[in-house]
C-alpha cells in the first residue's frame, strides 16, 4: 500500500500534498517539511467508536466532572475548576508568572491518593523546588519530573493516577520519532496530540504551559488553540505586579471571567478587591485623570484612565495608548475634534490605564474621552465622579450593558456620582447621574457644572 505523503509549513502549519519552496500561507521560504507519519497511527485512533446519530433532545450532556483547583481566581476563570480528561493551554509571555501560578495550582490540587505531576522541561527540579519554597507550595504530593521526552513522561504517568499534570513547557517537549527541534510546529503538534490522548483515556486534566511573544507568533500556542479544550492566558505589563488571567476559549464554560493576581514575594496572590487595588494610587483632582467603570468578566471594575495631551514637535504627532486599543484612541480623537472644537493635530496624545491592566470594552470610551478633554483643557474632573458610556462615530454617547451594577460598584468605592449616556442616566442607578448625550457636552464636566 502506498503511504500518502504530506508536507506542511514549519512556520505556520499550512499543509500541502507536495513540497513547495514558498509557503502560500505565510510567505516563508524553504519552510516545508514532510509530515511525520506518527499522527496517522495515533494511539487510540484505531479504537474510534462507531458514529451514532443522536436526537438533540436526548443528547443532554452529563455535566462535566470538574475538580476545583483550590485557587479562587483560577477556578472562576475555568468555570469552576479543571474538567477531567481535558487539555488546557496556559499561554503567556515568558516571565509573566505561568510556572509560579501553576506550581501553586499543582500544590493546591495534590492529594496523597492523587498527586500532582509537574513536568519541568525548562528548569531543574532544584529550581522548581526553590520556587515552591518561596511560594509555600511545598508538598510531598507534588511530584516533579524533569524530562523533555514525551514518551518518557507518559511512561512515568502509568505508575500514578494524578489529579493534574502540568507540562512546563510544551516548547521544551519532544516526541522521539519526530525529526524536528523542540518547539517546532511538528513537535508541538505531536506532543499535544500525545497528551490529548493520554488525558482522554487517563482521565486527569493536562495543563500545557506555552510561551507566546507579544506578537503571538512563536511556534506553538497559536496552533495549539485549535487542539486544546481550554485556553487561558496570563497577561500583564512589564514593571507592574498586576496579572490578568482570562479564558479565551472554553469548551466547558464561558470565556467571560477575568481574575486578577498580584505577583508578590510569595508568588501569585489573588486580588480580592480589584477596583480598590487599581485605584490605590489615584491622583484625584488632577487634569487628565478619569475613573472608568469597565465590565470585564461578570464583575464591574473601576480603573483610572490617564490622558496627557501635549504640544508636539513632530511632523506626525504621537498617539500612544497603553492598556487601551490604539485604533479606538484614534477614533475617539477624530470624534472629539469634530464635535468639541478641541484640536489634536499638532499635539501628542498619551492614554494609559493605570496599574498595567489592559481592557477592551466600549464602555471605556466616555472615560477616555473625558480624560482627553480634561487634559487638553487642563481642568480636572470632579474627584467623586466615575464615568462609563460608549461613543459613536457621530459623537453620540450610548448606553452600555448592566449600568446599575457598574454604578453600584462605583458607589461601593466611594464615588458620589456617575457620568453616563442619557438612557443610562434615566434608569435606576442608585447614584446621582450626570447625563451626557453627546461628546460636545464633556466640557460641562470639567467646568465644574457637572451636577
Ligand atoms: P515565572 O513563573 O518563572 O514566569 P513564566 O513561567 O511565565 O516564565 O515567574 C517569572 C518572574 O516572577 C520571575 O522573574 C521572578 C518573579 N517571581 C516573583 O516576583 N515572586 C515569586 O514568588 C516568584 C516565584 C517569582
Ligand atoms: Mg516558566
How far is Cα 426 from Cα 442, in angstroms, rounded to an integer? 18
Q: Which residues pair with 231 in a beta bridge?
A: 89, 249
At residue 318, the pLDDT reads 96
Name which residue leads in pLDDT, 357 or 213: 357
At residue 55, the pLDDT reads 85
Residue of 97, 232, 243 to test ligand 1 pocket, by largest number of atoms within 8 Å of CB: 97
* pLDDT tens digits along 109-134: 999 999 999 999 999 999 999 999 99
State which ligand 1 atom lies nearest to the alpha carbon of 266. Answer: 22
pLDDT band at 36 (very low <50, low <70, confident <90, very high): low
At residue 15, the pLDDT reads 80
Mean pLDDT rounded to a whole number for the chain: 89
Q: Could you give the C-alpha distances from 96 to 102, 241, 242, 268, 320, in angstroms and in order?
A: 12, 9, 10, 10, 23
Q: Concatenated DSSP letters for 5-62?
A: P-EEETTT--EESS--SB-TTT--BS-EEEPPSGGGG-TTSTTPPPP----GGG--PP
The pLDDT of residue 280 is above 50: yes
Question: What does R_g of the chain's alpha carbons equal in angstroms?
Answer: 26
At residue 251, the pLDDT reads 92
How far is Cα 214 from Cα 89, in angstroms, rounded to an integer? 17
How deeply is 243 buried, as exposed, middle or buried, from its count of CB atoms within 10 A (0-12, 13-18, 19+)?
A: buried
pLDDT band at 339 (very low <50, low <70, confident <90, very high): very high
How deeply is 362 buried, as exposed, middle or buried, from its count of CB atoms within 10 A (0-12, 13-18, 19+)?
A: middle
Question: Which amino acid residue places its CA nearest to atom 9 of ligand 1?
Answer: 97
Q: Strand 32-34 and strand 15-16: pairing?
A: unpaired
Most confident range (mean pLDDT) of 183-197, 229-243, 262-276, 325-339 is 325-339
Distance from the alpha carbon of residue 131 to the mean position of ligand 1, in angstroms? 8
How far is Cα 271 from Cα 296, in angstroms, rounded to an integer? 15
Question: Could you tell me if 284 and 383 are in contact, meaning their C-beta atoms sit under 8 angstroms apart?
Answer: yes
Most confident range (mean pLDDT) of 201-205, 226-230, 336-340 is 336-340
Query: CB 60: neighbour CB atoms within 10 A?
Result: 7
Q: Average pLDDT, stretch 258-274?
A: 92
The pLDDT of residue 396 is above 60: yes
pLDDT band at 24 (very low <50, low <70, confident <90, very high): confident
How far is Cα 119 from Cα 183, in angstroms, rounded to an integer? 16
At residue 286, the pLDDT reads 94
| Residue ranges lining ligand 1, Cβ < 6 Å | 92, 94-100, 131, 134-135, 263, 265-267
Ligand nearest to the CA of 103: 1
At residue 125, the pLDDT reads 95
Q: Residue 441, CB half-sphere, CA atoms under 13 Å: how many?
A: 17
| Pick from 244, 360, 351: nearest CA to 304 | 351
| Pick from 352, 247, 254, 257: nearest CA to 295 | 257
Q: Average pLDDT, stretch 308-331?
A: 95
Lookup: cell for 285: 483632582
The pLDDT of residue 449 is above 50: no
At residue 8, the pLDDT reads 78
Lookup: cell for 172: 521544551
At residue 181, the pLDDT reads 86
Residue of 90, 94, 95 to test ligand 1 pocket, by largest number of atoms within 8 Å of CB: 95
The pLDDT of residue 3 is above 60: no
* pLDDT tens digits along 60-71: 766 778 999 999
The pLDDT of residue 424 is above 70: yes
Q: Where are the beta strands (DSSP E) in 212-273?
A: 230-235, 242-250, 258-264, 267-270
Ligand nearest to the CA of 102: 1
Distance from the alpha carbon of residue 284 to the mean position of ligand 2, in angstroms? 38
Lookup: cell for 61: 450532556
Lookup: cell for 266: 510569595
Q: Which residues pair with 166 in a beta bridge?
A: 118, 207
Residue of 120, 241, 262, 263 to test ligand 1 pocket, by largest number of atoms within 8 Å of CB: 263
Q: Average pLDDT, stretch 12-21?
A: 82
Question: Which amino acid residue places its CA nearest to atom 11 of ligand 1?
Answer: 95
At residue 157, the pLDDT reads 94
Q: Average pLDDT, stretch 3-18?
A: 75
Amino acid at each position: 500500500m502506498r503511504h500518502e505523503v504530506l508536507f506542511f509549513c514549519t512556520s505556520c502549519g499550512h499543509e500541502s500534498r507536495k513540497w513547495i519552496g514558498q509557503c502560500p500561507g505565510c510567505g516563508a521560504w524553504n519552510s516545508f517539511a514532510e509530515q511525520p507519519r506518527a499522527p496517522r497511527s495515533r494511539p487510540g485512533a484505531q479504537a474510534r467508536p462507531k458514529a451514532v446519530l443522536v436526537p438533540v433532545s436526548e443528547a443532554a450532556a452529563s455535566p462535566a466532572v470538574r475538580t476545583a483547583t483550590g485557587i479562587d481566581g483560577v477556578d472562576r476563570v475555568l468555570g469552576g475548576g479543571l474538567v477531567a480528561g481535558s487539555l488546557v493551554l496556559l499561554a503567556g509571555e515568558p516571565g509573566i508568572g505561568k510556572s509560579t501560578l501553576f506550581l501553586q495550582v499543582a500544590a493546591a490540587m495534590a492529594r496523597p491518593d492523587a498527586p500532582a505531576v509537574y513536568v519541568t522541561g525548562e528548569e531543574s527540579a532544584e529550581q522548581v523546588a526553590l520556587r515552591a519554597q518561596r511560594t509555600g507550595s511545598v508538598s510531598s504530593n507534588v511530584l516533579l519530573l524533569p524530562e523533555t521526552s514525551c514518551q518518557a513522561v507518559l511512561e512515568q504517568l502509568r505508575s500514578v493516577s494524578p489529579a493534574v499534570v502540568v507540562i512546563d513547557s510544551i516548547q521544551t517537549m519532544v516526541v522521539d520519532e519526530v525529526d524536528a527541534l523542540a518547539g517546532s510546529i511538528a513537535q508541538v503538534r505531536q506532543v499535544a496530540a500525545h497528551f490529548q490522548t493520554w488525558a482522554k483515556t487517563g482521565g486527569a486534566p493536562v495543563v500545557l504551559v506555552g510561551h507566546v511573544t507579544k506578537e503571538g507568533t512563536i511556534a506553538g500556542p497559536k496552533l495549539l488553540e485549535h487542539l486544546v479544550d481550554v485556553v487561558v492566558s496570563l497577561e500583564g505589563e512589564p514593571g507592574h505586579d498586576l496579572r490578568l488571567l482570562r479564558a479565551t476559549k472554553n469548551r466547558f464554560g464561558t470565556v467571560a471571567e477575568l481574575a486578577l493576581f498580584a505577583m508578590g514575594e510569595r508568588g501569585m496572590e489573588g486580588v480580592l478587591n480589584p477596583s480598590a487595588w487599581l485605584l490605590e494610587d489615584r491622583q484625584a483632582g488632577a487634569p487628565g485623570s478619569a475613573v472608568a467603570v469597565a465590565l470585564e468578566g461578570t464583575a464591574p471594575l473601576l480603573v483610572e484612565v490617564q490622558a496627557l495631551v501635549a504640544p508636539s514637535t513632530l511632523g506626525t504627532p504621537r498617539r500612544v495608548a497603553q492598556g487601551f486599543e490604539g485604533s479606538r484612541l484614534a477614533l475617539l480623537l477624530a470624534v472629539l475634534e469634530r464635535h468639541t472644537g478641541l484640536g489634536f493635530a499638532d499635539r501628542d496624545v498619551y492614554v494609559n490605564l493605570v496599574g498595567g491592566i489592559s481592557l477592551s470594552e466600549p464602555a471605556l470610551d466616555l472615560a477616555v474621552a473625558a480624560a482627553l478633554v480634561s487634559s487638553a483643557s487642563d481642568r480636572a474632573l470632579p474627584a467623586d465622579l466615575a464615568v462609563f458610556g460608549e461613543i459613536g462615530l457621530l459623537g453620540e454617547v450610548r448606553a452600555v450593558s448592566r449600568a446599575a451594577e457598574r454604578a453600584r460598584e462605583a458607589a461601593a468605592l466611594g464615588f458620589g456620582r456617575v457620568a453616563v449616556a442619557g438612557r443610562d442616566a434615566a434608569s435606576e442607578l442608585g447614584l446621582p447621574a450626570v447625563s451626557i448625550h453627546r461628546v460636545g457636552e464633556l466640557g460641562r464636566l470639567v467646568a465644574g457644572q457637572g451636577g
